[in-house]
Amino acid sequence: MGKVTGFLEYKRSDPSKRLPLDRLKDANEIRLPQSDDQVSVQGARCMNCGIPYCSSGVQLNGMTAGCPLHNLIPEWNDLVYKNQWEQAYRRLSRTNPFPEFTARVCPAPCEGSCTEGSILDPVAISSIEYQIIEKAFKEGWVLPKTSKPSGKKVAIVGSGPSGLSAASCLNALGHEVTVYERHDRVGGLLMYGIPNMKLDKGIVERRIDLMRRSGIHFIVNTEVGKDISSKSLVDEYDAVILCGGATKARGIEIEGSTSKGIYFAVDFLKANTKRLLNKEVVSSISASGKHVIILGGGDTGTDCVATSLRQSCLSVTQFEIMGEPSKERNPLTNPWPEWPKKLKVDYGQEEAIAITGKDPREYLISAKKLIANDLGEVKEVHTSRVVWEKDSKGRFIPVEVDHSEQVWKADLVLLAMGFMGPEAHIANELKLEVDPRSNYKADYGSFKTNIDKVFTAGDMRRGQSLVVWAIQEGKSVASEVNEYLLK
């Protein structure tokens, strides 16, 4: 695949980004375009390795290695190298219904498992995928999909990546699909959980419009289990798929945690996107003129950094209880083809550094209490430094460092510590079984719950995970539901 000697002749080249101080003036996507010729050269770097771990999609040491969608990556790399762009799109769309989403927000475990990456820089797979799908839309190759009606009706609860994936696949098989979304716009996490800088909402709406023209029905502002009963869907439809996500955010139980000015990160990001999409909306949560503390060092925390800066915060600091990763993969403890655990300076940190000259992240730190003013509004975060030590059972736990207390100004505290699982109201109404982590119980491969006609997939089934896993689960549950309907 690619050029036989391409990996020796060409270096990896990623798309440039708009300069931090320029992009802070708006909420537009930060990626700059590349030419077809530039991307074609990157396709030439795919080295015909013979064992493409990039397509594997397996769990190694608790992390995803390779693409869960099992994309035929070497094949479309080769087609791009040969300038056969339409064929590359056809090959890509065989496995991925939404390449425009994954090319923008997936952390690219495929690149982490690229064989070339074991000794050199990995192939720029994500950039190639982006170029393929954007060229496909530009050239008019992406068209509505219709099929002969089967006479079967399917309801899907949730319009995030797993729900949309299942809807797309079942519609293409001829089933009548209706998707229920509790918010005012379709897209779930893609619409309200990921900032515009990473995924422009016009890109989401472009795909939703195509799905509508394919015959899929979307019902918004309707929360199943509250606005309408879950049981009514089971009675009305031939099958019901629950794809509501793992939306129960993880809180913090320390002194002062009920003070005003403390919010879940997802609510902060949603409020910002709502204001961006409708200028008449007054944001219910704003970082403007405030000292912002973010508890959580992951991607959501980074999104909060970038959003706070665009809202003209006075300062922003991101707390991470884990230690700072090394700059390079440790081949002994983190060997290829595992996901490389190494320091990443993402777009939000780049922007903070451009303003202050300092990375906003503080490592090995734990919030101990939150102090409020006389009005009950948070004004300080008190912290201690920690080290990780083994307990009596051999598990690593954080241990406070003596005399390491610090006090941080804080007018706004954002909790970006992940999610605990799905909300329970649908499970309670239908008496669905849940697993020990409160996820809706269904085995991978069947996706059947303990209630007839009811299936579940995505984060609602597996817990918080990657968008690419949600899309794969949507595809897989669609296959199982199709088989069930045709019995």
Query: pLDDT per residue over 437-467, tens digit each?
Result: 999 999 999 999 999 999 999 999 999 999 9
Specify the amino acid at residue 337: P
Asked whether 101 and 210 are in contact (CB, 8 A), the reply is no
Residue with tokens 């608790």: 62
Are 62 and 157 within one domain?
A: no
CATH no. for residue 243? 3.50.50.60
Residue with tokens 């006075």: 314
Q: What is the pLDDT of residues 350-375, one digit of tens each?
A: 999 999 999 999 999 999 999 999 99
Peptide bond into 398 cis (omega under 30): no
Assign 3 a pLDDT band (cuts: 50, 70, 90). confident
- Assigned token pair, 365: 């730190």
Position 282 pLDDT exceeds 80:
no
Are 168 and 195 within one domain?
A: yes
- Find the helix packing angle between 347-356 and 299-310, rounded to 10°: 40
**Domain-located, residue 458:** yes
Which of 223-232, 391-400, 473-482 shows the lowest per-residue confidence on average (mean pLDDT)? 391-400
Position 4 pLDDT exceeds 90:
no
Are 18 and 100 within one domain?
A: yes
- Assigned token pair, 461: 């089934």
DSSP designation for 339: P
The structural domain count of the chain equals 3
pLDDT of residue 50: 85
pLDDT of residue 21: 97
**Domain-located, residue 144:** no
Are 395 and 426 within one domain?
A: no
Length of the chain, please? 487
- Please say which residue of 139, 162, 178 terminates a domain: 139
**Domain-located, residue 352:** yes
Q: What is the mean pLDDT of residues 321-340?
A: 93
Q: What is the pLDDT of residues 168-192, one digit of tens each?
A: 999 999 999 999 999 999 999 999 9
Are 475 and 424 within one domain?
A: yes
Are 112 and 183 within one domain?
A: no
For residue 224, the SS3 value is: strand
Spatial distance between the Cα atoms of 60 and 107, rounded to a whole number of angstroms: 16
- Kindly report the CA angle at 8 between 7 and 10, in degrees rounded to 5? 70
**Domain-located, residue 432:** yes
* Residue of 145 and 203 predicted with greater confidence: 203
pLDDT of residue 281: 79
Asked whether 60 and 341 are in contact (CB, 8 A), the reply is no
- Please say which residue of 400, 417, 434 terminates a domain: 417
Name the nearest CA neighbour of 377 among 417, 410, 415, 416.
410
Q: What is the pLDDT of residues 373-397, one digit of tens each?
A: 999 999 999 999 999 999 998 999 9
Position 240 pLDDT exceeds 70:
yes
**Domain-located, residue 147:** no
Give, in order, the Cα–Cα distances in Å from 416 to each of 80, 317, 393, 419. 39, 12, 29, 9
**Domain-located, residue 336:** yes
Domain that holds residue 355: 251-417
Position 48 pLDDT exceeds 90:
no
Are 89 and 115 within one domain?
A: yes
Are 314 and 387 within one domain?
A: yes
pLDDT of residue 257: 97
Between strands 58-60 and 454-456, the pairing is unpaired
Assign 332 a pLDDT band (cuts: 50, 70, 90). very high
pLDDT of residue 284: 77
Are 233 and 105 within one domain?
A: no
Asked whether 248 and 420 are in contact (CB, 8 A), the reply is yes
**Domain-located, residue 146:** no
Assign 1 a pLDDT band (cuts: 50, 70, 90). low
Position 99 pLDDT exceeds 80:
yes
Are 309 and 444 within one domain?
A: no
- Please say which residue of 114, 139, 164 terminates a domain: 139
For residue 376, the SS3 value is: coil
| Average pLDDT score, the chain | 96
For residue 18, the SS3 value is: coil
DSSP 328-394: S--TTTS-TTSPP------HHHHHHHHHHSS--EEESEEEEEEEE-TTSBEEEEEEEEEEEEE-TTS
**Domain-located, residue 209:** yes
- Assigned token pair, 42: 């990157």
Are 339 and 273 within one domain?
A: yes
Asked whether 307 and 263 are in contact (CB, 8 A), the reply is no
- % of residues, the chain, pLDDT over 70: 100
Are 126 and 169 within one domain?
A: no
CB atoms within 10 A of CB 385: 17
Residue with tokens 């390779």: 66
